[in-house]
Structure 1
Amino acid sequence: MHKHSFRRSCAALAATTSLVLAASACGGTTKQDVAEEGGSTTTAGKADPGAPTKKGLTVGFLPKQVNNPYFTVADKGGEKAVRQLGSTYKEVGPSSGTDTAGQVSYVNTLTQQQVDAMAVSAQDPGALCTALKQAMKNGVKVVTYDSDTRPECRHAFISQASAEDLGRTQVRLLAEQIGHKGEIAILSAAQTATNQNAWIEIMKDELKDPKYKDIKLVKIAYGDDDAQKSFQQTQGLLQEHPQLKGIISPTTVGIKAAAQYLSGSKYKGKVRLTGLGVPNDMRKYVKNGTVEAFELWDPAKLGELAARTAVALSSGQITGKEGETFDAGPMGEYTIGEDGVITLGKPTVFDAKNVDDFDF
C-alpha cells in the first residue's frame, strides 16, 4: 500500500494563492465569513477515521466540459469508484470549456437535487464560489479536482501532481529537447484556468535558473481548450516567431492540436513540442517523430481519488483539515496537505519506449 503525503512548497503555494486571489471574481471573503455562513473546511466537525463508509449516497461530477476526452476518462474513473463504494453517480456539465455561467447553474442544480457530494473541475477560480458555498451550507460535501476554486469554497482539492512538479518538469523536458537554447512559447487553455496559470508561473520561475540563460520565453498563447483555436494559435506562434525552437502546451487539447499542426508542416521535427497529453491522442505523433516526450498523470485515477475523497467526506472519515489521513481503497492511504490539497502523485513521462503501455 502506497503512502502519499504531499505538501506544496512555499513557492508553489505562493504562486497559486496569489494567482487565485488575483483572478478571483468573488474577492473579500474571509474564512470567518465562511464559518458564519455555515460552510468551511476550518469549522467542520471532528473527523472519525474509523467511521463506516456510507452507502446509498449520490455523488455528482461536474467537469469543465462534458464532451472533452480527458474529462470523459477522469469521470469514468470517478463513476467506477462511486459504484464500487455502493453509491449513485451522476454527471452534469457544460459542452463548452469556457461556459462559467453554465457551471454555476449546474452547481445550483446539483444543490437543489440534494446530492450528498459533488466533484467539480472549476473553469474559473472565483466564479463558482457563491454557488459552492451555498451547496456547503446545504450540507453538500464539495471536492474540486483537476482545477481548483478558492480554498474556502470547497472541502478538498484533488491535485493531479504538485504545481511545482508539473511546472518545472515541463520546462526541463523541453530544455533537454532543444539543447537548452532558443526561443520557446507556451500554448495554454483559457486565460482564467487556475491550474494552467499556476503551472505557467512556476515555469517562469524555473526559467530564471542560470542553466536556462539561453532560452527565451517569447509568447503565451491561449487556445481555450478548443481544438481549432489551438491549431490556429500554433500556426500564429510560428508565423510571429519564425526562430521558435519549442512549445510547451500544458493542456491535452492544446498539445494534440499543436502536434497536428506541426506534423503537417515544415516545422515537423525542427520545433519541439512537449506538455501534458493523453497517450491515445499523442501516440501517432510520437511514432512519426513530431513529439519526442510529453507527460501526464492518469486521469482515471484522478477521478477515482475525487470520488473516494467525496465519499470519505460524506462518511465523516475526513473533514478536509491538513494532516487528516484516509484509506482510498486500492489507491492506498492519502494525507491531506495544506489548504485541503490532496495530491495524486508525480507525473508520468511518455515517449516511444512506453507510450504503447497505456490505454487512455
Structure 2
Amino acid sequence: MQFTVSKRSRNLRLVTAATAVAALVTVAGCSSQSAGGGSSDTGKATASGGAAKKGLTVYFIPKDTQNPYEVLADKGGQKALKELGGKVVVSSGTTDTAAAQIPSVQAAIQAKADAIVIAANDPKALCPSLNQAAKAGIKILSFDSDINCGNSPQHLFINQADTKTIGTTEVDLLAKEINSTGQIAILSAAQSATNQNAWIGYMKQQLKKYPKMKLVTTVYGNDDPATSLNVLKGLISAYPHLKGIISPTTVGISSAAQYLSTHKNVKIALTGLGLPSQMRAYVKDGTVQKFALWDPSKLGYLAGYAAAALASGTATMKTGATFKAGTLGSYKVLAPAGDVGPSVVLGPPTVFDKSNIDNYKF
C-alpha cells in the first residue's frame, strides 16, 4: 500500500492515506474502493441477491458516548439501518473501559437484539459477555477497535483501514517534518485499546527505518481531553528536547494541538489521527502540518449494513463472501490473518493539510 497523499484526499481520511493510510489516494469517501473489496455497485441488498429483513434492531456500543469520532460512527450506523427499515440503539458508558460497555451488551441480550456492533475498549475482557450474546442468537461485529476472543464467539471485524499502513504512515509523516532525527513520543488513548496497540506495534517496526528517531515513551490520555492534556504536559516537562508527537486518537491529537497552538514557545511537531472539523484551525495556523483519518460515519454505515446482512442470513463470515453496503458499494470478507479473524476493510484513509482540509466537513 502506498500512502499517496493526494491533494485533498489526504486531509481527513487518514482516510485517503493509502490503502488504509498507504493509499491515501482516494477521497476519504471512497469506502467503496476499500481494501475489503468495495466496488462502485450500490443498493440496499445486503448480499448477493439477498435483501435485509425489516425491523432489525442493532446495538451500537461505542468506546464511549461522548467521543465526537464515536458519535459520527454511530450516526453512520443509524443511517444504514434506517435505509434498511430497522433501527440502531446506541448504548455505552462515558469512560473508555470494558466495564462500562458490559452493561450495554447485557441490555442487548435482554432486548433480543439481532446484532451487536462494538468498538472494544479491551480485546479480551468483553469476550464472556459477547459469547453469551452470541449463544442467544445475536450476531457479533466489532468496528474501529477489534476484540480478540479466539473462535468464541466468532465475529466480523469492520476495519477502518489497513492496520499496518495506519501505523507506518504516521511515522513517515512525522519523519518528514523532523528530518528523521530526534526524540519522539506517542500520545495514545486507553492502554488496553486494541486498535491503538496494533497501530503502535507497526509504528515501532517502522521506526527501525529511522535510526536517528528515538521513541522515548508512550503515554495514555484515555480519550479524555483533560487526561490527554495532563499527560501531554507531563511529557513535555519530562522530555525538554522532544521533537515530535504522534497521537493516533482524535481526542489526543486535538487536545495536543489546542495546547501547542497557545504555547508557541513549545516547538514540537504533531501528527496522528484527527477529525478535519476539529483540526482545521490548527492546520491553518501552522500548529499541525499533516494528519490523517477516514470518515467515521462511513465506517459506522458499513458496519450497519454488514450487521444487517449477517442478521438477515444473506451474508456469512466465510472468506470471499460478499454483501452490498448501500451507497458504498460491494464488500468482500477477507481471510483471517494473525490475531484478526474475518474482516472487511472500509478503504484507504486520507491525509489532510492546508491544501485540502476545507474539503472535509466531518
Structure 2 partner of 1:232: 230
The amino acid across from 2:346 in the alignment is L
Change (3 A) 1:88 1:266: closer
Q: 1:48 Cα shift? A: 7.3
Output aligned runs, 1:164-175, within 5 Å: 164-175=164-175
Output aligned runs, 1:263-274, within 5 Å: 263-268=261-266, 270-274=267-271
Is the Cα contact below 8 Å between 2:315 and 2:322 reproduced in 1? yes
Cα separation, 1, equivalents of 2:310 and 2:224: 34
The amino acid across from 2:348 in the alignment is K
Which secondary structure state, in structure 2, belongs to the residue aligned with residue 319 of structure 1? coil
Is the Cα contact below 8 Å between 1:60 and 1:117 reproduced in 2? yes
Is the Cα contact below 8 Å between 2:80 and 2:326 reproduced in 1? no
Change (3 A) 1:142 1:355: same
Q: 1:3 Cα shift? A: 5.0
Output aligned runs, 1:140-289, within 5 Å: 140-150=138-148, 151-152=150-151, 153-209=153-209, 212-268=210-266, 270-289=267-286
The amino acid across from 2:190 in the alignment is A
Q: Deviations over 1:299-350 (max 9, x none)?
A: 0000001100000101112221222111112101111112211111111101
Is the Cα contact below 8 Å between 1:325 and 1:334 reproduced in 2? yes
Higher helix residue share: 1
Q: 1:233 Cα shift? A: 1.2
Is the Cα contact below 8 Å between 2:35 and 2:161 reproduced in 1? no
Cα separation, 1, equivalents of 2:35 and 2:67: 30
Q: Deviations over 1:161-182 (max 9, x none)?
A: 1111100000011101111111
Is the Cα contact below 8 Å between 1:185 and 1:218 reproduced in 2? yes
2:333 to 315, 323, 336: 336
TM-score (norm 2): 0.84
Q: Identify unmatched segments of 5+ residues in structure 1.
A: 8-46
Mapped pair 1:324 → 2:321 = yes
Is the Cα contact below 8 Å between 1:279 and 1:358 reproduced in 2? yes
Q: 1:49 Cα shift? A: 3.5
Q: Deviations over 1:64-89 (max 9, x none)?
A: 10111111111011101110111122
Q: 1:109 Cα shift? A: 1.0
Which secondary structure state, in structure 1, belongs to the residue aligned with residue 327 of structure 2? helix
Taking only the aligned residue pairs, the percentage that are identical comes to 50
Cα separation, 2, equivalents of 1:48 and 1:222: 40
Structure 2 partner of 1:295: 292
Q: More displaced, 346-355 or 146-155?
A: 146-155
Q: 1:217 Cα shift? A: 0.6
How many residue pairs were aligned?
Answer: 317
Q: Deviations over 1:251-299 (max 9, x none)?
A: 000001111111111445x210000001111111111111001000100
Cα separation, 2, equivalents of 1:352 and 1:164: 26
Cα separation, 2, equivalents of 1:322 and 1:67: 35
Cα separation, 1, equivalents of 2:226 and 2:246: 18
Q: 1:110 Cα shift? A: 0.5
Cα separation, 1, equivalents of 2:164 and 2:230: 29
Output aligned runs, 1:105-116, within 5 Å: 105-116=103-114
Q: 1:353 Cα shift? A: 0.9
Q: Deviations over 1:45-74 (max 9, x none)?
A: xx9742332111111111110111111111
Q: 1:232 Cα shift? A: 1.4
Q: 1:197 Cα shift? A: 0.3
Change (3 A) 1:267 1:334: farther
Change (3 A) 1:48 1:277: closer
Q: Identify unmatched segments of 5+ residues in structure 2.
A: 1-29, 38-45
Is the Cα contact below 8 Å between 2:257 and 2:282 reproduced in 1? yes
Q: More displaced, 53-62 or 299-308?
A: 53-62
Cα separation, 1, equivalents of 2:288 and 2:121: 28
TM-score (norm 1): 0.85
